[in-house]
A and B are shown apart, each in its own frame.
Chain A
Amino acid sequence: MSEPDDLRVHDGASQRGGLIHPDVRQPSDESERGQDGGRLQHAEAASQPISAAPKAARTREPQPRGAKVKGNRPIDQAEAAERFIAAPLHLKAHDERLWDLRKKRDTVAHGIPEWEALRELASQIKAHTLSNLDRYLEEFEANAKANGVHVHWAADGAEHNRIVHGILKDHGARTLIKSKSMLTEECGFRHYMAAQGIEIIETDLGERIQQLDNEDPSHVVCPAVHKTRLDVAEVFARTLGTDPENDDIHYLAESQRETTRPHILTADAGMTGCNFAIAETGTVVTCTNEGNADLSGNVPKLQIHSIGIEKLIPRIEHLGVFIRLLSRSALGSPITQYTSHFRGPRKGTEMHMVLVDNGRSARLGMEEFWTSLKCIRCGACMNTCPVYRRSGGLSYGATYSGPIGLIIDPTFNKRKYSTLPFSSTMNGSCTNVCPVKINIHEQIFAWRKVLAEEHEIPLVKKGMMKAAGQVLSRPAAYRAAIGAADSALRVLPRFAVYNPVNTWGRGREMPHTPRQSFHAWYRQNRMKADKTGGEA
Chain B
Amino acid sequence: MSSREAILGAIRQNRPAGAYPLPSLPDFAPLVGPDLVAEFADRLKRMGGRVAEAEPGRDPLAPVRERLAAARVVASAVPEVQGNRDLAQVENPADLADVDVAVVRAVFGVAETGSVLFTQDELRVNAVAYLAQHLIVLLDPQDILVNIQAAYRRPDFAGAAYAVLHTGPSATADIEGVLIHGAQGVRSLTVVLMPRT
Which residues of chain A have a CB within 8 Å of any CB of chain B? 6-9, 20, 30-32, 34-36, 40-46, 49-52, 93, 97, 100, 111-114, 117, 121, 124-125, 127-128, 130-134, 137-138, 147, 153-155, 159, 203-206, 209, 222-225, 227-229, 232, 249-250, 252-254, 257, 260-261, 264-266, 280-281, 283, 289-292, 294-295, 297-299, 309, 314, 316-321, 323-324, 333-346, 355, 357, 361-362, 364-365, 367, 370
**Cα A334 to Cα B64 with chains together (Å):** 27
Is A20's CB under 8 angstroms from B126's CB?
Answer: no
**Cα A333 to Cα B167 with chains together (Å):** 11
**Cα A254 to Cα B172 with chains together (Å):** 11
**Cα A51 to Cα B3 with chains together (Å):** 48
Q: Given A289-B172, A364-B14, does the pair A137, B26 have CB atoms closer than 8 Å? A: no
Cβ of B148 to closest chain A Cβ, rounded Å: 5
- In the complex, given contacts A253-B175, A334-B114, what are 9 additional A-B residue pairs having Cβ atoms less than 8 angstroms apart? A34-B46, A40-B179, A114-B28, A128-B20, A133-B11, A261-B97, A291-B170, A337-B168, A370-B14
| 7 A-B residue pairs with CB within 8 Å | A7-B50, A7-B52, A225-B174, A289-B170, A294-B129, A336-B167, A339-B164
Is A43's CB under 8 angstroms from B173's CB?
Answer: yes
Is A229's CB under 8 angstroms from B175's CB?
Answer: yes
With a cutoff of 8 Å between Cβ atoms, the chain A residues found around residue B56 in the complex are none
Cβ of B15 to closest chain A Cβ, rounded Å: 6
With a cutoff of 8 Å between Cβ atoms, the chain A residues found around residue B15 in the complex are 131, 133-134, 364
Which B40-69 residues have a C-beta within 8 angstroms of A?
A: 43, 45-52, 63-64, 66-67
Cβ of B51 to closest chain A Cβ, rounded Å: 7
Determine whether B197 belongs to the interface, using a CB cutoff of 8 Å to chain A: no
With a cutoff of 8 Å between Cβ atoms, the chain B residues found around residue A324 in the complex are 148-149
Is A153's CB under 8 angstroms from B174's CB?
Answer: no
With a cutoff of 8 Å between Cβ atoms, the chain A residues found around residue B22 in the complex are 124-125, 128, 314
Cβ of B153 to closest chain A Cβ, rounded Å: 7
**Cα A324 to Cα B126 with chains together (Å):** 25
Is B175's CB under 8 angstroms from A205's CB?
Answer: yes
With a cutoff of 8 Å between Cβ atoms, the chain A residues found around residue B160 in the complex are 341, 343
**Cα A280 to Cα B20 with chains together (Å):** 19
With a cutoff of 8 Å between Cβ atoms, the chain A residues found around residue B97 in the complex are 261, 265
**Cα A297 to Cα B120 with chains together (Å):** 13
How many residues on the B side are at the interface (Cβ–Cβ under 8 A)? Answer: 89
Choose one: A35, A249, A261, A341; the contact of B180 (CB below 8 Å): A249
Which residues of chain B have a CB within 8 Å of any CB of chain A? 2-4, 6-8, 10-18, 20-23, 25-26, 28-29, 31, 43, 45-52, 63-64, 66-67, 70, 93-94, 97, 112-115, 120, 126-127, 129-131, 133, 148-149, 151-153, 157-158, 160-188, 190
With a cutoff of 8 Å between Cβ atoms, the chain B residues found around residue A51 in the complex are 176
With a cutoff of 8 Å between Cβ atoms, the chain A residues found around residue B51 in the complex are 35
Choose one: B17, B64, B131, B152; the contact of A320 (CB below 8 Å): B152
Is A159's CB under 8 angstroms from B3's CB?
Answer: yes
With a cutoff of 8 Å between Cβ atoms, the chain A residues found around residue B166 in the complex are 337-338
With a cutoff of 8 Å between Cβ atoms, the chain A residues found around residue B114 in the complex are 334
With both beta carbons as reference points, the residue of chain A lying nearest to B177 in the complex is identified as A46
Is B3's CB under 8 angstroms from A153's CB?
Answer: yes
Is B172's CB under 8 angstroms from A294's CB?
Answer: no
With a cutoff of 8 Å between Cβ atoms, the chain A residues found around residue B153 in the complex are 317
Is A346's CB under 8 angstroms from B184's CB?
Answer: no
**Cα A316 to Cα B167 with chains together (Å):** 19
Is A46's CB under 8 angstroms from B161's CB?
Answer: no
Q: Given A8-B66, A365-B14, does the pair A34, B48 have CB atoms closer than 8 Å? A: yes
Is A50's CB under 8 angstroms from B177's CB?
Answer: yes
Most chain B beta-carbon contacts within 10 A, residue among A50, A125, A336: A336
Cβ of B119 to closest chain A Cβ, rounded Å: 9
With both beta carbons as reference points, the residue of chain B lying nearest to A260 in the complex is identified as B184
With a cutoff of 8 Å between Cβ atoms, the chain B residues found around residue A254 in the complex are 182
Q: Given A7-B63, A42-B46, A125-B23, does the pair A93, B170 have CB atoms closer than 8 Å? A: no
Is B179's CB under 8 angstroms from A42's CB?
Answer: yes
Is B115's CB under 8 angstroms from A335's CB?
Answer: yes
Choose one: A30, A40, A265; the contact of B94 (CB below 8 Å): A265
With both beta carbons as reference points, the residue of chain A lying nearest to B17 in the complex is identified as A367
Is A45's CB under 8 angstroms from B170's CB?
Answer: no
With both beta carbons as reference points, the residue of chain B lying nearest to A280 in the complex is identified as B158
Cβ of B116 to closest chain A Cβ, rounded Å: 11
Nearest 4 pairs of A and B residues by beta carbon? A291-B185, A46-B177, A365-B14, A45-B179
Cβ of A6 to closest chain B Cβ, rounded Å: 6
Choose one: A35, A341, A365; the contact of B45 (CB below 8 Å): A35
Cβ of A510 to closest chain B Cβ, rounded Å: 36
Is A40's CB under 8 angstroms from B48's CB?
Answer: yes
Q: Given A7-B52, A257-B184, does the pair A36, B45 have CB atoms closer than 8 Å? A: yes
Is A97's CB under 8 angstroms from B176's CB?
Answer: yes
